[in-house]
Structure 1
Amino acid sequence: MTRRQSSYTATERMLNLLRYLSEKPHSMAELRDRLACDMGHQPDRVTVQKDLSRLKDWWSFPLDVIDNKRVLTAPAFPVRLSNTTLEALRIALKFLEDTKLSSAVAALTEITQLLPEPQRQTLQRRTEFTFAPQVLVDFSSHHSNITKLEQAIRVYQQVEFNYLAREREQPIHHQIEPMSLDWKDGRLYLIGYKIGKNNEQSFRVDRIVGEIKLLPCKFVPKPPRTYPIAFRIWGPIAKDYQKRFYQEDKPLCAPCDRHSDALLINALTTNYFWAKRRLLGYLPYVEIIQPDWLVKEFREIAAEMAQLYLNQTSPVSLPQAAEEKGI
């Protein structure tokens, strides 16, 4: 065996040792047996002991011997987080503790064992951060309903439940197509649509009475959600325009002071992101009419395009022009 091959074999052996010890404590005999199984030959006890000593003394891995078993006292390859990420994790743990979600706290705490000791100590510092002006709701009793809602949202499955509104004395039965769960003002809300309706509604999860019931999945195409959009086009875009959106009214002639050939398009789109990409391709021959947030975005884009145009067409001074021509 050459020196390079010997070095490669030793490195592979030490990596295997770290993998074994990351799983659980091992005796020396157990380590040698597993090495024999994975590498095809069983190294002697002295070789394995030297490998463990190198890992501990040269590479500073947290190895120790407890009850005649080799133990990795901390993760072999700890994850180091930035200060910002560490602070966010500390606040998240505090938030979960305040809302009594003990299972989530335990799961997240288990992950933090991958952090080095100084960062784990940072997470234990008390925070005075206030999450909401009112007392936070204990969601531990709503864990089953939250799980069902998350499942229904993932697979677009409808749900039904009884809901006790603040102004009513008796709960009302609802059938909802859930869209998302939203945290607002210290409360968890279900956002969804009532079956057969188009207006979005919100329900406080802690006001749901009893268990949520998942309705059977319907294996039939459902009409997609649509969102209104309106825009004016002119020039070459208006001349060769063809319908591109999910639903469109017939283009209306809508001349303005600057563009006598302008057309007004009223349409419905199923995806605002796709619609924005399409409309960006119409620049600079497009003006957005609605929705308001898209009007604002396109005004900002138009201003940046105008500035770029001015920068490219600005006159060059004579000394600069002479310098560029080498005069």
Structure 2
Amino acid sequence: MSPKRDTYNQLAFALEILRLLSQKPLTRSELCDLLSTFLERHDKNSGDINQKVVRTISKLRDCGFDIQCSPHHPYKLIESNFPVLLSTEQREALAMAANFLGDMGFSTQAAQILRIGNLNFNEQASVVNVNFSPPVDYSETQTEIVVRELQERLNKKCCFSIRYRSSNGNEKIWDIHRSELRLHNGVLYLFTFIPTWFCKHEKPPSFEQNIALRVDRILKVFPSSPTPWTVFNFPTQKIYYRMSGELRNYQPRRGNEEVFYRDSQGKFVDILAEEDCPFWFRQRILQYGSNVQVLEPEWLAKEIQEEHQKAFQQYSLKD
């Protein structure tokens, strides 16, 4: 076998190790089994596979690949040092993504992108200014632990509990069912369905039972229970509202919206939306002011009207 051919085989073997570890951590026996299959598939001898793996991983570490391994623990690729060749446009795109993530409170992830692209600080500057105001840096140690634990619980699709501190400082244990992480207006939430939550207007399951809990206020995430989620889709509510004035030519841009009726004279447009979060919907509708009117359901239209009346009364107190 020529030296050139042998070098190629060693490189292919090392690349296969990196490919496997990039997918998930593997014990030595798992890694050896997969690599034995790889060698046999290429008509190569898989004898002494343990030593081959140890030697190759040692060389990869010398090349700058951070591969973690300790007794009774799996091999884990912490950080890859594989060279990435990027065009100018690709470097600019990565720099913009890093800028966005950093301003949204994900500084660790932003730094990872900068390292992947081997970008310096000057290249990180973006032509787009981002106007996010996250309450915390989600890469801070405690918050990052909470996010990682939430991700682990969500993957299991089983019920679990959290200890949560509200805006007024009160602490409470919440029993969490169907849930997911959502980034809304620059704030990271645990969006969850609470089947025991009181429904004031609709029969359960109702979108009134969908609650948004700020991740930065979660104090503790408890282990998953063996009880699976009772629902796998968040309850939704069909809402009709009319846009007029400056919004009379509104074109739906959200996946849950559609035009129900458009006035032939262009004075207004009626929108049908299927919403799953009453709190966020109220926030959005109230910011439109007099340019929008909720039509159905009637109870929601009344609540929005009462909010406008309260605001009017607050301004009237100044007169």
**Which band: TM-score by shorter chain?**
0.3 to 0.5
TM-score by length of 2: 0.41
Q: TM-score by structure 1 length?
A: 0.40
Greater CA radius of gyration, 1 or 2? 1
